[in-house]
């Protein structure tokens, strides 16, 4: 692996040392994880260097931007990969900074809907095209047909993961 890739992103090559004879399933999983880690590492670094914003904060703004009716803390916690406690902390800070508003109609704080404020929307709209350009650059080596094929295969994989979950093939079940 070229040294600058390592230096730019701590994202690991999880396939390191994986033998040729290792199972196809394991190779797919580790290559998928490697790609996800590499992209996430570069997006994270870009957000920090360019906008001085953390990835979880950006992700929270992105989810709210896609939800015109706002989202509750529970919905945000489901959509982001963070615990309720972490979402609360993130949201509190964004509310304090005026980027996010919390509707106070309900006295149950968990059911209060969060929305982007106009200032939050403006801030996010500055970041969106730059973020998209990074993703475009990282995927530039694939043509449209390959991207469409990858999208289809990933849809199938997502369906497979859900089916395995629903079949009760719980990771905790070793039988």
Buried b (16+ CB within 10 A) or exposed e, 25-51: eeeeebeeebeebbbebbbbbbbeeee
The residue count of the chain comes to 175
CB nearer to its own copies: give 108 or 136: 136
Site for its own copies in 12-51 (CB under 8 A): 12-14, 16-19, 23-29, 31-43, 45-47, 49-50
The DSSP element (H or E) to which 2 belongs, if any, is none
Site for its own copies in 103-162 (CB under 8 A): 130, 132-142, 144, 146-151, 153-162
Cα separation values, 134 from 12, 90, 138, Å: 19, 24, 6
CB of 143 to its own copies, least distance (A): 10
Report residue 100: phi and psi, to 5°. -135, 145
Residue listed under structure tokens 């093939």? 169
Binding piece for its own copies, criterion CB under 8 A, among 8-16, 96-104, 110-118: 8-16
Residue 121 in tokens: 């929307």
CB of 133 to its own copies, least distance (A): 8
CB of 8 to its own copies, least distance (A): 6
CB of 107 to its own copies, least distance (A): 25
Give the span between the Cα atoms of 8 and 43, in whole angstroms. 11
Site for its own copies in 50-79 (CB under 8 A): 50, 59, 63, 66-67, 77-79
Number of residues that bind its own copies (CB under 8 A): 90
CB nearer to its own copies: give 103 or 164: 164
Give the span between the Cα atoms of 27 and 147, in whole angstroms. 20
CB of 141 to its own copies, least distance (A): 3
Taking CB under 8 A as the criterion, the residue among 53, 55, 82, 95 binding its own copies is 82
């Amino acid at each position: 692996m070229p040294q600058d890739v390592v230096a730019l992103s701590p994202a690991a090559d999880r396939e390191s040392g994986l033998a040729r004879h290792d199972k196809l399933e394991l190779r797919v999983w580790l290559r998928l994880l490697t790609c996800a880690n590499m992209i996430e590492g570069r997006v994270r670094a870009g957000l920090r260097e360019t906008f001085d914003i953390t990835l979880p904060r950006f992700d929270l703004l992105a989810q709210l931007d896609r939800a015109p009716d706002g989202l509750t803390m529970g919905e945000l916690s489901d959509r982001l990969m963070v615990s309720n406690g972490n979402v609360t902390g993130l949201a509190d800070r964004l509310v304090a900074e005026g980027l996010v508003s919390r509707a106070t109609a309900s006295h149950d704080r968990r059911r209060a809907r969060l929305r982007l404020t106009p200032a939050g929307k403006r801030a996010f709209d500055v970041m969106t095209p730059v973020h998209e350009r990074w993703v475009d650059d990282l995927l530039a080596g694939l043509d449209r047909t390959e991207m469409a094929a990858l999208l289809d295969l990933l849809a199938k994989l997502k369906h497979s993961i859900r089916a395995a979950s629903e079949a009760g093939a719980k990771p905790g079940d070793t039988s």
